């Protein structure tokens, strides 16, 4: 390739800044949603890659403090996922997850974050296609919202408030 083929910017060594992509944290229960993600992978179902998974034994384990920590560490969106009702390996774990999720939504609202940055979904081990669909939809939704205000703000200024809220929520 000669320098004639390059755009004027590239000839000057100027590269365009990388476009922003959302950073998403997915909390997935071991028995259903994590296995659903695995099914998507094994079936080679294409989905957006801008997420990190955190595997927990049951969605009932996902306390508001976990979600707040993810936002505190720079997540732009958090997806909580578990087994469908009636399929939880710990019987009532996903019912507890709903209670925890409601508390989390309230705290997220208090912090000034948009509701669309948080989502709760039930995905079974066989639902690889559904996992991909949820990831794609949620990523697009968070992309539209833009970077999280929480990660863009000076976290040090609000970290005291955040840890106080996390502690209070953890105790409840």
Binding window for ligand FES (CB under 6 A); candidates: 29-37, 43-51, 66-74, 155-163: 29-37
For residue 131, count CB atoms less than 10 angstroms from its CB and return exposed for 0-12, middle for 13-18, buried for 19 or more: buried
Closest approach of ligand FES to the CB of residue 9, in Å: 50
Closest approach of ligand FES to the CB of residue 87, in Å: 7
155-171 and 93-110 helices, crossing angle to 10°:
150
Please tell me the distance from the alpha carbon of residue 164 to that of residue 116, in angstroms, as a whole number.
24
Does 89 help bind ligand FES (rule: CB under 6 A)? Answer: yes
Select from 39, 94, 104, 148 the one that contacts ligand FES (CB under 6 A): 94
Does 123 help bind ligand FES (rule: CB under 6 A)? Answer: no
Does 93 help bind ligand FES (rule: CB under 6 A)? Answer: yes
77-82/118-122 β-pairing: parallel
Does 88 help bind ligand FES (rule: CB under 6 A)? Answer: yes
For residue 149, count CB atoms less than 10 angstroms from its CB and return exposed for 0-12, middle for 13-18, buried for 19 or more: middle
Does 35 help bind ligand FES (rule: CB under 6 A)? Answer: no
- 3-state secondary structure (DSSP) of residue 14: coil
Closer to ligand FES by Cβ: residue 59 or 104:
59
Q: Which residues contact 108 (CB under 8 A, 6 or more apart)?
A: 67, 68, 71, 115, 117, 118
Does 162 help bind ligand FES (rule: CB under 6 A)? Answer: no
Interface residues toward ligand FES, by CB under 6 A: 29, 31-32, 58-60, 82-83, 88-90, 93-94
């Amino acid at each position: 390739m000669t320098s004639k083929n390059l755009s004027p910017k590239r000839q000057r060594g100027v590269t365009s800044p990388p476009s922003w992509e959302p950073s998403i944290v997915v909390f997935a229960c071991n028995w259903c949603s994590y296995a659903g993600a695995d099914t998507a992978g094994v079936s080679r179902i294409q989905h957006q890659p801008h997420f990190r998974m955190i595997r927990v034994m049951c969605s009932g384990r996902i306390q508001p403090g976990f979600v707040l920590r993810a936002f505190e560490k720079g997540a732009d969106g958090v997806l909580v996922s578990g087994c469908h009702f009636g399929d939880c390996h710990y019987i009532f774990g996903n019912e507890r997850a709903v209670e925890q999720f409601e508390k989390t939504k309230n705290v997220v609202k208090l912090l000034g974050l948009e509701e669309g940055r948080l989502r709760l979904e039930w995905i079974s081990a066989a639902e690889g296609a559904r996992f991909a669909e949820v990831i794609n939809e949620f990523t697009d939704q968070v992309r539209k919202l833009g970077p999280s205000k929480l990660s863009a703000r000076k976290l040090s200024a609000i970290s005291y408030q955040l840890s106080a809220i996390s502690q209070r929520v953890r105790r409840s």
